């Protein structure tokens, strides 16, 4: 990964032969913005028969925000992967287009009922995109080298834990639709679990870099698998217990699964020991059975998953409507604004993917999965290329989060697995989720910039005959 | 770390592939099944979001869609109310669609593959996607005559163009208001439907094609046809026609409706027996011919066959294995012989059409929204029930029924009308069904008609009194047009 060194030429950091590929990023962003804007126009035309003024505001704001973020990346992370930002932007704009389309459906319904139209969620969402982009810029500005994050290992861990437990604080927590995930401060509601996953990943990466050699130690082997030492079992059991606690106290299955999966996955990558996967799998099964036996809400979800049509008018209503939506979309989709995604309750949150499937068809739903896959692949690629174990683990963690979250929520709305409430990264309406995901994106950009940045090489211009050895 | 990283990547890739597989399952392979699930509102909402094509008689709509500002955009309206219900059916958000609304749904809703190009053109031109039109074969005048003729009565009328099988009139009575079942108010729909279901006169029953009745003496036309076809009888053959006929193998006496002999010395010609509807002669004739000959003849007219006009028609039946006594009763249209009104119209039409039975049809043309035709009615032969010669003989015998026999009420000045009366008992104590089948003119007829009026008296004259005038008015309506 060292820059080619040409005797007699001075190579400076940031101005080497290693291409920054910022031009590619800009071109892709322009394309994404164009397609996203077109989607919003079509969605409005399809749902309301006209292009409502909100569309132009959203198009303008998103254009400015994305261009701004691109310029920040040029300035602060010039060697960052050029695909990540446009991919995240594509998902975000697609989400906003669909949220705007659902806004119009709600407005039409309000008109029919003679009530006031509800406020525009799309406008909120694009403002949250702006907030997320500003947060990402701040992360890039403050975290000039991701390795500085290692300094506060246990502070991150504590912060993550506090964030996870915040909704349980009396007077602060807020229960919406049966799940105690929110906190309320003044007029603002926030889902701290979204931020918790960001900081806990930092903590896990930092912790595992310190301890991975110990955790990889094996005393004896069973069935060809090395069994970890008893005293090393502590961390995984602690995380498992926290996950169970979240499931019990907050009825939040999704976050529990994601948290535990994240830790086990990172543990495996850090140590290279398959026994951790096996152990994690066993604990998942035990935890799952325990949860099924103890918690009514888990039982309901499983029953609905097995036969949603038996509960089509009650607990299974959402998933059944979601399946109808996907089926209605079929191969090519009903077209923007021409389906009935508003029949799925809370389509703008957990079920935004069924709205995409309904109006854009298999073509659109596959495209979304592919966009997520691309983002995950770019993160894993960055992990490979990373020059330090911490950076590699950090981006691996974010790849796992993205992968698991996409699988849990998309698998849930398509009835591949029981449905558990999680937001669709970059797409669902909601500020906390968007903010957390843009911060993750900033950290991915930061690590990839570090990985691709050429080494600073100093060559004395007048010493052409001296053999220059690049720093290893 | 690189190896475990690769394995992790593989694991995540498997998750993504699982999602893609599941998406393909629900969006492609299970899509039809999911779309057809009862309670899936999307299918309904899509249908109502599109302007459904009209059902037309001549060029006037008998069913059409009107735009509303409700969440279901289009409302189905039936301008003529109850008159055309037997043909159009209704189009209900609660009870689905019936009649042509159901059988022609693909055209009317615009989903028909043949309308694909139109759909695409409309879509790209930014016009609303509309459904195609269905033009019926119905004749507005004949339909109105039948509708008015049945007013206040319980029964049905079917008129056919003998040469083609086009249905000119198809009326049920009592009927109902399809507008009330096709509204967007499910509460009101349910209430109205419950009321109709509770009605002892069964207004929801599509009498012309879905209800079979004993055809009574009108079936003697079939028996007479079988006699001519057998080659053993001519219209002038002399048959025994005593006052009563002892059913073979029993001591049950089958009487004539007059209670007297059919002719001097208890003898009567075949033609005269038909004209005066002599039970004893035809019961005897039935036994002479045997049940197989009667069944063969009946099947040539369309019995034991299911027709789709494209409305599904109930199958008319000739009993499968009657004994001699039952065969004698079957020959006069009693015992287990059952026929729809449409079936008896087909019998009259086939006699008039030189003995050829045509397949009945009620859809004249389907067309795209711009009225370019997609499919036009093609007359199709079903069977040759009679030779041309025998058909002419039978037609002449049926003219005798009207000119000098029991069917006097169907006489039309200046036109030779061929007909046959009938009064059928469904059971001993229940009121009978008055029948009249006819065609006119007797040679090269323009119209054949069958009328069935329920709850008539028990007298053979009721066919002539109740059903005959309706048949005459329907024929006059066609002949005048």
pLDDT in tens, A190-205: 888 889 999 999 999 9
Does A360 contact chain B (CB < 8 Å)?
Answer: no
Contacts with A367 (C-beta within 8 Å, 6 or more apart), sequence order: A360
Contact of B355 with B388, CB cutoff 8 Å: yes
Query: What local confidence, expressed as pLDDT, does residue A3 receive?
Result: 46
In-domain check, residue B120: no
Q: How far is B17 from chain A (nearest CA, A)?
A: 9
Q: What span, in angstroms and rounded, lies between the C-alpha atoms of B158 and B452?
A: 9
Task: Please report how many Cα atoms fall inside a 13 Å half-sphere around the Cα of residue A25, on the Cβ side.
Answer: 25
Selecting from B19, B31, B39 the residue whose C-beta is nearest the C-beta of A411 gives: B19
> Residues 262-281, chain A: which have Cβ within 8 Å of B?
265, 268-272
Q: Are strands B155-160 and B167-173 parallel, antiparallel or unpaired?
A: antiparallel
- Return the H-helix or E-strand segment holding B470: helix B468-480
Catalytic entry in B86, B182, B217, B462: B217
pLDDT in tens, B351-375: 999 999 999 999 999 998 888 899 9
Contact of A65 with A17, CB cutoff 8 Å: no
Q: Highest mean pLDDT: which of A26-30, A226-230, A459-463, B285-289?
A: A26-30
**Token pair of A21, please?**
């590929």
Contact of B149 with B470, CB cutoff 8 Å: yes
Q: Do B18 and A416 touch (CB under 8 A)?
A: yes
State the maximum Cα–Cα separation within chain B, in Å, rounded to a whole number.
117
In-domain check, residue B286: yes
The total number of structural domains that make up chain B = 1
Q: What span, in angstroms and rounded, lies between the C-alpha atoms of A124 and A434?
A: 11
DSSP string of A382-426, one letter each residue: HHHH-SSHHHHHHHHHHHHHHHHHHHHHHHHHTTSS-----PPTT
Q: What span, in angstroms and rounded, lies between the C-alpha atoms of B333 and B303?
A: 13
Identify the residue among A107, A328, A357, A451 best suited for mutation to test binding to B, counting B beta carbons within 10 A and taking the highest.
A328
What radius of gyration, in Å, describes the C-alpha atoms of chain B?
27
Identify the residue among B3, B5, B7 best suited for mutation to test binding to A, counting A beta carbons within 10 A and taking the highest.
B5
**What secondary structure letter does DSSP report for A353?**
H
Contact of A125 with A429, CB cutoff 8 Å: yes
Q: How far is A8 from chain B (nearest CA, A)?
A: 37
> Residues 53-92, chain A: which have Cβ within 8 Å of B?
none
Q: Do A269 and B1 touch (CB under 8 A)?
A: yes
Does A366 contact chain B (CB < 8 Å)?
Answer: yes
**Cis-peptide into B310, omega within 30 deg:** yes
Collapsing DSSP states into helix, strand and coil, what is residue A164?
Answer: helix
Residue of B nearest to A265 (CA): B8
Q: What span, in angstroms and rounded, lies between the C-alpha atoms of A376 and B377?
A: 61
Q: Do B23 and A362 touch (CB under 8 A)?
A: yes
Phi then psi dihedrals of residue B383, to 5 deg? -165, 160
In-domain check, residue B218: yes
Considering only CB atoms, which chain A residues are within 8 Å of B26? 323, 326-327, 414-415
Contact of B449 with B438, CB cutoff 8 Å: yes
Phi then psi dihedrals of residue A293, to 5 deg? -70, -35
Selecting from B15, B28, B32 the residue whose C-beta is nearest the C-beta of A362 gives: B28
Identify the residue among B28, B42, B124 best suited for mutation to test binding to A, counting A beta carbons within 10 A and taking the highest.
B42
Q: Do A403 and B71 touch (CB under 8 A)?
A: no
Please state which of the ranges A3-7, A377-381, B277-281 shows the lowest mean pLDDT. A3-7
% of chain A with per-residue pLDDT over 90: 53
In-domain check, residue B46: no
pLDDT in tens, B417-455: 999 988 887 666 666 888 999 998 988 999 999 999 988
Query: What local confidence, expressed as pLDDT, does residue B343 receive?
Result: 96
DSSP string of A170-219, one letter each residue: TTTEEEETTEEEEEEETTEEE-HHHHHHHHHHHHHHHHHHHHHHHHT--S
- Model confidence pTM above 0.90: no
pLDDT in tens, A290-312: 888 988 888 888 999 999 988 88
What radius of gyration, in Å, describes the C-alpha atoms of chain A?
24
Q: Which of B26, B329, B342 is nearest to B169 (CA)?
A: B342
Q: Do A396 and B71 touch (CB under 8 A)?
A: no
Selecting from B5, B13, B27 the residue whose C-beta is nearest the C-beta of A384 gives: B5
Reading phi first (left if > 0) and then psi (alpha if -120 to 50, else beta), residue B449 is in beta
Helix axis angle, A22-48 relative to A84-113, nearest 10°? 10
Considering only CB atoms, which chain A residues are within 8 Å of B71? 109, 112
Query: What local confidence, expressed as pLDDT, does residue B135 receive?
Result: 94
Own/partner long-range contacts of A114-121 (Cβ < 8 Å, ≥24 apart): A120/A54, A121/A348, A121/A429
In-domain check, residue B266: yes
In-domain check, residue B152: no
Selecting from A329, A330, A384 the residue whose C-beta is nearest the C-beta of B2 gives: A384
% of chain B with per-residue pLDDT over 70: 96
Q: How far is B115 from chain A (nearest CA, A)?
A: 17
**Token pair of A251, please?**
């009825």
Q: How far is B179 from chain A (nearest CA, A)?
A: 23
pLDDT tier, A245 (very low <50, low <70, confident <90, very high otherwise): confident
Considering only CB atoms, which chain B residues are within 8 Å of A324? 34-35, 37, 40-42
In the predicted structure, residue B108 carries a pLDDT above the cut 50: yes
Reading phi first (left if > 0) and then psi (alpha if -120 to 50, else beta), residue B337 is in beta
Q: CB count, 10 Å around CB of A465?
A: 6
Considering only CB atoms, which chain B residues are within 8 Å of A373? 13, 16
Contact of B228 with B234, CB cutoff 8 Å: yes
pLDDT tier, B122 (very low <50, low <70, confident <90, very high otherwise): low
Q: What is the 3-state secondary structure (H, E, C) of B3-44?
A: HHHHHHHHHHHHHHHHHHHHHHHHHHHCHHHHHCCCCCHHHH
Contact of B92 with B86, CB cutoff 8 Å: no
- Return the H-helix or E-strand segment holding A264: helix A253-271
pLDDT tier, A360 (very low <50, low <70, confident <90, very high otherwise): very high
Phi then psi dihedrals of residue B377, to 5 deg? -55, 130
Q: What is the dihedral of CA B307, B312, B317, B321, to 10 degrees?
A: 90
Q: Are strands B167-173 and B238-240 parallel, antiparallel or unpaired?
A: unpaired
**Token pair of B69, please?**
């500002």
Provide ipTM, 2 decimals. Answer: 0.90
In the predicted structure, residue B1 carries a pLDDT above the cut 80: no
Contact of B67 with B74, CB cutoff 8 Å: yes
In the predicted structure, residue A456 carries a pLDDT above the cut 70: no
> Residues 34-63, chain B: which have Cβ within 8 Å of A?
34-35, 37, 39-43, 45-46
Q: Do B41 and A343 touch (CB under 8 A)?
A: yes
Residue of B nearest to A382 (CA): B5
Considering only CB atoms, which chain B residues are within 8 Å of A384? 2, 5
Query: What local confidence, expressed as pLDDT, does residue A449 receive?
Result: 94
Q: What span, in angstroms and rounded, lies between the C-alpha atoms of B398 and A84?
A: 89
Does A363 contact chain B (CB < 8 Å)?
Answer: no
Residue of A nearest to B123 (CA): A335
Contact of B163 with B73, CB cutoff 8 Å: no
Q: What span, in angstroms and rounded, lies between the C-alpha atoms of B404 and B357?
A: 27
Task: Please name the residue that has the structure tokens 């979309």.
Answer: A329
Contact of B114 with B374, CB cutoff 8 Å: yes
In the predicted structure, residue A218 carries a pLDDT above the cut 80: no
Q: How far is A250 from chain B (nearest CA, A)?
A: 26
In-domain check, residue B354: yes
In-domain check, residue B70: no
Please state, in angstroms and as integers, the Cα–Cα distance from residue B445 to each residue in A184, B97, B427, B475, following that order: 86, 35, 35, 10
* Average pLDDT, integer, range B305-311: 92
* Average pLDDT, integer, range A175-195: 74
List the CATH number of the domain containing B416. Answer: 3.40.710.10
**Token pair of A84, please?**
């990540």
**Token pair of A397, please?**
């963690």
Selecting from B3, B35, B70 the residue whose C-beta is nearest the C-beta of A328 gives: B35
Q: What span, in angstroms and rounded, lies between the C-alpha atoms of B409 and B436?
A: 10
Q: What span, in angstroms and rounded, lies between the C-alpha atoms of B27 and B32?
A: 9
Query: What local confidence, expressed as pLDDT, does residue B123 receive?
Result: 65
Q: What span, in angstroms and rounded, lies between the C-alpha atoms of B269 and B235?
A: 7
Contact of B83 with B171, CB cutoff 8 Å: yes
Residue of B nearest to A390 (CA): B1
Collapsing DSSP states into helix, strand and coil, what is residue B434?
Answer: strand
| H-type alpha helices, A307-388 | 317-329, 352-385
In the predicted structure, residue A254 carries a pLDDT above the cut 60: yes
Contact of B222 with B297, CB cutoff 8 Å: yes
Q: Which of A346, A147, A215, A171 is nearest to B4 (CA)?
A: A215
> Residues 292-331, chain A: which have Cβ within 8 Å of B?
309, 312-313, 323-331
Q: Do B4 and A271 touch (CB under 8 A)?
A: yes
Decide if B109 is catalytic: no
In the predicted structure, residue A14 carries a pLDDT above the cut 50: no
By CB neighbour count within 10 A (0-12 exposed, 13-18 middle, 19+ buried), where does A307 fall? exposed
Collapsing DSSP states into helix, strand and coil, what is residue A21?
Answer: coil
Contacts with B163 (C-beta within 8 Å, 6 or more apart), sequence order: B353, B358, B379, B444
Does B19 contact chain A (CB < 8 Å)?
Answer: yes
Q: What angle do CA A203, A207, A208 make, to 5 degrees?
A: 120
Considering only CB atoms, which chain B residues are within 8 Å of A312? 39
Residue of A nearest to B28 (CA): A330
Contact of A101 with A359, CB cutoff 8 Å: yes
Does A415 contact chain B (CB < 8 Å)?
Answer: yes
- Which structural domain range is residue B239 located in? 210-364+378-480
pLDDT tier, A147 (very low <50, low <70, confident <90, very high otherwise): very high
Q: Do A357 and B27 touch (CB under 8 A)?
A: yes
* Average pLDDT, integer, range A374-390: 94
Q: Which of A240, A348, A354, A324 is nearest to A290 (CA)?
A: A240
Contact of B474 with B447, CB cutoff 8 Å: yes
Selecting from B12, B20, B27 the residue whose C-beta is nearest the C-beta of A361 gives: B27
Q: Which of A159, A244, A147 is nearest to A197 (CA)?
A: A159
Please state which of the ranges A168-177, A310-319, B368-377 shows the lowest mean pLDDT. A168-177
Query: What local confidence, expressed as pLDDT, does residue A232 receive?
Result: 76
| Size of chain A in residues | 472
Q: What span, in angstroms and rounded, lies between the C-alpha atoms of A135 and A280?
A: 34
Phi then psi dihedrals of residue B155, to 5 deg? 165, -160
* Average pLDDT, integer, range A321-345: 90
Q: Which of A414, A302, A314 is nearest to A354 (CA)?
A: A414
Q: Do A328 and B9 touch (CB under 8 A)?
A: no
Contact of A101 with A45, CB cutoff 8 Å: no
């Amino acid at each position: 990964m060292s820059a080619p060194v040409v005797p007699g030429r001075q190579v400076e950091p940031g101005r080497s032969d290693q291409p920054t590929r910022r031009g590619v990023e800009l071109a892709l962003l322009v394309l994404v913005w164009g397609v996203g804007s077109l989607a919003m126009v079509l969605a409005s035309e399809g749902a309301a028969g006209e292009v409502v003024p909100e569309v132009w505001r959203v198009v303008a704001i998103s254009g400015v925000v994305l261009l701004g973020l691109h310029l920040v990346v040029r300035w602060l992370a010039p060697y960052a992967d050029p695909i990540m930002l446009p991919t995240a932007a594509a998902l975000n704009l697609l989400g906003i287009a669909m949220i705007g389309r659902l806004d119009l459906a709600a407005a039409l319904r309000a008109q029919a009922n003679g009530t006031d139209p509800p406020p525009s969620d799309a406008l909120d969402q694009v403002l949250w995109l702006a907030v997320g982009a500003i947060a990402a810029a701040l992360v890039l500005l403050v975290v000039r080298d991701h390795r500085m994050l290692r300094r506060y290992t246990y502070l991150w861990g504590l912060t993550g834990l506090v964030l996870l437990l915040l909704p349980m604080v009396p007077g602060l927590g807020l229960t919406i639709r049966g799940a105690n995930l929110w906190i309320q401060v003044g007029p603002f509601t926030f889902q701290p679990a979204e931020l918790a996953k960001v900081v806990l990943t930092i903590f896990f990466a930092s912790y595992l870099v310190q301890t991975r050699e110990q955790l990889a130690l094996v005393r004896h082997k069973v069935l060809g698998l090395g069994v970890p030492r008893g005293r090393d079992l502590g961390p995984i059991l602690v995380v498992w217990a926290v996950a169970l606690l979240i499931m019990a106290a907050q009825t939040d299955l999704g976050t529990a699964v994601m948290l535990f999966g994240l830790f086990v996955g990172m543990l495996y990558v850090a140590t290279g020991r398959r026994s951790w996967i096996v152990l994690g799998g066993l604990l998942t099964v035990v935890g799952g059975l325990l949860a099924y036996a103890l918690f009514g809400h888990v039982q309901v979800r499983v029953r609905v998953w097995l036969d949603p049509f038996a509960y089509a008018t009650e607990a299974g209503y959402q998933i059944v409507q979601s399946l109808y939506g996907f089926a209605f979309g079929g191969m090519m989709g009903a077209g923007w604004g021409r389906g009935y995604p508003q029949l799925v309750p809370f389509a703008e949150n957990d079920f935004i993917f069924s709205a995409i499937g309904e109006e854009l068809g298999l073509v659109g739903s596959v495209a979304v999965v592919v966009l997520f896959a691309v983002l995950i692949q770019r993160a894993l690629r960055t992990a490979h290329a990373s020059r330090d174990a911490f950076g590699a683990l950090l981006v691996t963690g974010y790849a796992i989060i993205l992968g698991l979250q996409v699988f849990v929520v998309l698998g849930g709305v398509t009835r591949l697995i029981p449905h558990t409430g999680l937001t669709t990264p970059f797409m669902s309406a909601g500020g906390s989720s968007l903010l957390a995901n843009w911060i993750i994106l900033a950290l991915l950009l930061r690590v990839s910039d570090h990985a691709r940045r050429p080494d600073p090489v100093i060559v004395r211009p007048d010493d052409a005959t001296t053999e220059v050895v690049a720093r290893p | 770390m690189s190896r475990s990283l690769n394995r992790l990547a593989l694991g995540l890739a498997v998750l993504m592939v699982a999602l893609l597989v599941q998406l393909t399952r629900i969006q492609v392979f299970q899509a039809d099944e999911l779309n057809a699930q009862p309670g899936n509102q999307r299918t309904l909402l899509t249908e109502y979001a599109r302007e459904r094509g009209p059902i037309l008689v001549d060029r006037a709509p008998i069913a059409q869609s009107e735009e509303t500002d409700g969440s279901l955009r289009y409302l189905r309206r039936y301008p003529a109310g109850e008159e055309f219900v037997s043909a159009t059916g209704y189009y209900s958000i609660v009870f689905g669609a019936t009649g042509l609304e159901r059988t022609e749904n693909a055209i009317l809703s615009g989903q028909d593959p043949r309308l694909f190009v139109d759909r695409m053109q409309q879509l790209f031109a930014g016009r609303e996607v509309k459904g195609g039109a269905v033009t019926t074969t119905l004749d507005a005048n004949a339909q109105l005559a039948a509708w008015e003729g049945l007013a206040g009565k319980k029964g049905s009328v079917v008129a056919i163009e003998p040469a083609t099988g086009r249905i000119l009139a198809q009326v049920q009575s009592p009927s109902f208001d399809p507008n009330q079942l096709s509204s967007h108010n499910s509460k009101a729909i349910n209430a109205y439907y419950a009321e109709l279901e509770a009605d002892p006169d069964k207004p929801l029953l599509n009498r012309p094609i879905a209800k079979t009745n004993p055809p009574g003496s009108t079936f003697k036309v079939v028996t007479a046809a079988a006699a001519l076809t057998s080659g053993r009888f001519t219209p002038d053959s002399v048959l025994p026609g005593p006052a009563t006929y002892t059913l073979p193998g029993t001591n049950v006496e089958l009487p004539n409706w007059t209670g007297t002999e059919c002719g001097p010395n208890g003898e009567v010609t075949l033609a005269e027996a038909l004209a005066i509807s002599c039970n004893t002669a035809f019961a005897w004739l039935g036994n002479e011919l045997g049940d197989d000959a009667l069944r063969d003849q009946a099947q040539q007219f369309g019995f034991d066959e299911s027709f789709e006009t494209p409305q599904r028609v109930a199958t008319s039946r000739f009993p499968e294995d009657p004994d001699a006594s039952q065969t004698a009763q079957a020959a006069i249209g009693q015992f287990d012989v059952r026929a729809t009104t449409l079936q008896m119209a087909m019998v009259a039409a086939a006699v008039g059409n030189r003995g050829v039975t045509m397949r009945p049809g009620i859809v004249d043309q389907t067309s795209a929204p711009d009225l370019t035709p997609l499919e036009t009615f093609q007359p199709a032969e079903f069977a040759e029930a009679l030779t041309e010669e025998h058909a002419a003989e039978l037609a002449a015998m049926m003219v005798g029924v009207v000119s000098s026999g029991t069917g006097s009420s169907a006489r039309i000045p200046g036109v030779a009308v061929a007909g046959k009366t009938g009064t059928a008992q469904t059971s001993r104590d229940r009121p009978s069904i008055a029948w009249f089948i006819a065609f006119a003119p007797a040679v090269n007829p323009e119209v054949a008609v069958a009328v069935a009026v329920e709850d008539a008296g028990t007298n053979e004259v009721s066919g002539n009194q109740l059903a005959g005038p309706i048949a005459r008015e329907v024929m006059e309506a066609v002949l005048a047009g």
